[in-house]
Amino acid sequence: MIDFTSTPIILTMMLGSVGVIIPVISVARKEKGSSLYGGIAFAALISAISFVGYQIVSKHVTPAAIFSKNVLVDDTFGSFFAIAMLIVAIMTTVGSFNYMRGKTSPAVYYSLILLSSIGMVLIAYSTDLVMLFVAWELMSIPTYVLAGFAKKDPSSNEAALKYFLFGALSSGIIIYGISIAYGITGSTNIGQVIAGFSKLGPDMTPLALLAVAMFIAGFGFKIGLVPFHMWLPDTYEGAPPTISALLAAGTKKAGFAAALRVIIMGAIALDLNWAFALAIIAIVTMTVGNLAAIMQKNLPRMLAYSSIGHAGYILIGLSIAPFSQIGIQASLFHILNHAVMKASAFIAVAGIITTLSVSHIDKIRGLGKRMPITSLGLVISLLALAGVPPLNGFWSKLMLFGAAINAGSVVSWAPYLAVAGVLNSALSLAYYGWIIRKMYFEEGESEKRVKEPKSVIAVMIFSIIFIVGIGVYPDPFIEFAKSAVPALTNVTTMH
């Protein structure tokens, strides 16, 4: 039974039809020029995000729920992710206007972004494992193509190939996990799977455990959890920088949506000591990401490692979910913040790469004078990533670490997460500060101001307003994140 008025269905139809039509137009249209397709994609995404916003404001979405009889549920959890993903998709689209100028087949490029964003949005709304997997593939496959979009560039090809290889592997692993889950519970509906898990006899438990491990590995690949992160720096570095923005800020967050829907709930039902496992992965992930980032000389690669580090921070909130009221809320808030901060950082870098064709950190000396707005946007994003007040990253990190300390009253290891997080944030300031220093405090080869791409400027202005605005007045978004937290008590009372 499909409810044609529900948010995910209408979003799919809106974005899907536009995504299909764009390449058709390009066939019919003889003249070249990419701006038309970008404009159409932009309009579609803007109307999609306005629609989600309208649905939330008009209270058409149900409160956050994990379970539903249908394959999709129209709840605030999904809508929260939909907003975050669509913001990223919009930023990527606008940021690409300049990058795609003069490149081949722009229509396909924008169409793929739209299709991939349908996938991202649907993951967050899915309540059925098969639906989730279909959405997962819908999100992933366009990005394999996008990562290799610069087809004459060997490093872009390598990026796409590695990404595809790991994507295929992780898809296989997820499918394997789903099949085990189906095998022992007889259903693919997440609610029923979890209900089934909680009633398992001891002989079946190892299988369920294997399923959860498969999910962690499969989704962890996209999220960039250590040790499933190896492909990530190579891909982010080689892919077109605008696509790295989409990958780092968008698909990675979709991975978290899936993780929240499946792993956390499943693990709570299984009553495993999974929280501790996630905590260890969190600490390892953030430390590896930040340590490796210090040595990087290539901007996209440095940002790639930084996003691994941030996956660690976000995982803090997930790992303490059962012990602290605000754990998941903090994670969600940080997901939204990180989506904007990272997307804006990548698009700033994309702007730098396309105008000056440099990505090495030594080549951006004195950039503050040459590209003032892009540099300012990059600095604000980096400071927000480091968690400097009064920017948005500060509040979500504060909530994450606060939640970890709070959870210390239940489990003794939780405060160490906060300690690790604070130490890592300090560590991260080293390389963020390094970039800022190069841009502003070192003399460049030239001081001549270059023309900054208008589309990048637009993205920078948006993200500066967003980052500073939330930093000064975080309340509405904290409340929004709160409303998107699914009620965990439903799960725990089931067994």
Partner 1 sequence: MAVGSFEFGLSANALNAWAVWILPFVAAVVIPGVAKFSKKATNGVAVAFALASAISATTLLPLALGNNEIHNQIPWISSIGLKAGVLADPLAALMSNVVAWVSFLIFVYSTGYMKGDKDITRFWFWMAFFVGSMQLIVLSDNFLQLFFGWEGVGLASYALVGFWYKDKKKDHVGIEGRRVLGLVDYYSPTHSGIKAFIMTKVGDIMMLAGMFLIFAFAGTFGFRELTENTAWATTMSAQHLLMPAAVLLFGGAIGKSAQFPLNEWLLEAMTGPTAVSALIHAATMVKAGVFLVARLAPLFFALAAIGINMDQFFEVVAWVGAITAFLLATQGMVHPEIKKVLAYSTGSQIGYMMMALGVAGLSRQFVDGYTAGFFHLISHAMFKASLFMAAGSLLHIVGSRFMTDMGGLRKYMKKTYAFMWAAGLGLMGAPFITTGFWSKDAIFAAVYESGNTWALPIFVLALITAVMTTFYTTRMIGMVFFGNKSKHVEEMEKEGYHIHEASPSMWIPYGILAVLTIGIGVVGLAFEHQIHDIFTEYLASAFGIKSDMANVAKESQSVLGGFLEGVNPVALVSSLSAFAIGFGLGYIFYIGKFVDSTKFVNSNIFFYAIHKFFLNRWYLNALIYWGFVVAPLYFARGVYRYFENIVIEGFNLVPEKTMAGGARIMQATQTGISQSYLYVFGAGILIVVLLLLI
Q: Which residues bind partner 1 (CB under 8 A)?
A: 161-162, 165-166, 169, 173, 209-210, 212-214, 216-217, 220-221, 226-228, 230-231, 233-234, 272-274, 276-277, 280-281, 288, 291-292, 294-295, 326, 395, 399, 473-475, 478-479, 482
Q: What radius of gyration do the chain's Cα atoms show? A: 21
Nearer to partner 1 by C-beta: 281 or 380?
Answer: 281
The CB-of-316 to partner 1 minimum distance in angstroms stands at 16
Distances in Å between the Cα of 239 and the Cα atoms of 147, 221, 340, 436 are: 5, 17, 19, 24
Residue 148 and residue 160 in contact, taking contact as beta carbons nearer than 8 Å: yes
Nearer to partner 1 by C-beta: 172 or 186?
Answer: 172
Nearer to partner 1 by C-beta: 347 or 478?
Answer: 478
The CB-of-413 to partner 1 minimum distance in angstroms stands at 12
Helical segments of 320-413, H only: 327-356, 367-370, 372-386, 392-407
The CB-of-339 to partner 1 minimum distance in angstroms stands at 21
Beta bridge partners of 75: 62
The CB-of-313 to partner 1 minimum distance in angstroms stands at 18
Nearer to partner 1 by C-beta: 14 or 210?
Answer: 210
SS3 321: coil
The CB-of-402 to partner 1 minimum distance in angstroms stands at 9
The CB-of-235 to partner 1 minimum distance in angstroms stands at 11
Nearer to partner 1 by C-beta: 109 or 395?
Answer: 395
Which residue, 236, 216, 219, is CA-closest to 307?
236
Nearer to partner 1 by C-beta: 118 or 292?
Answer: 292
CB contact set of 91 (below 8 Å; sequence gap of 6+): 245, 249, 340, 343, 344, 347, 459, 462, 463
Name the residue type at position 426: A
Nearer to partner 1 by C-beta: 13 or 295?
Answer: 295
DSSP annotation of 447: -
The CB-of-283 to partner 1 minimum distance in angstroms stands at 12
The CB-of-291 to partner 1 minimum distance in angstroms stands at 5
Determine the Cα–Cα distance for residues 89 and 98; give it in Å rounded to an integer. Answer: 15
Nearer to partner 1 by C-beta: 14 or 272?
Answer: 272
SS (HEC) of 152-193 = CCHHHHHHHHHHHHHHHHHHHHHHHHHHHHHHHHCCCEHHHH
SS3 103: coil
**Tokens 């089934």 — which residue?**
196
What DSSP assignment string belongs to 467-484?
HHHHHH--HHHHHHHHHT
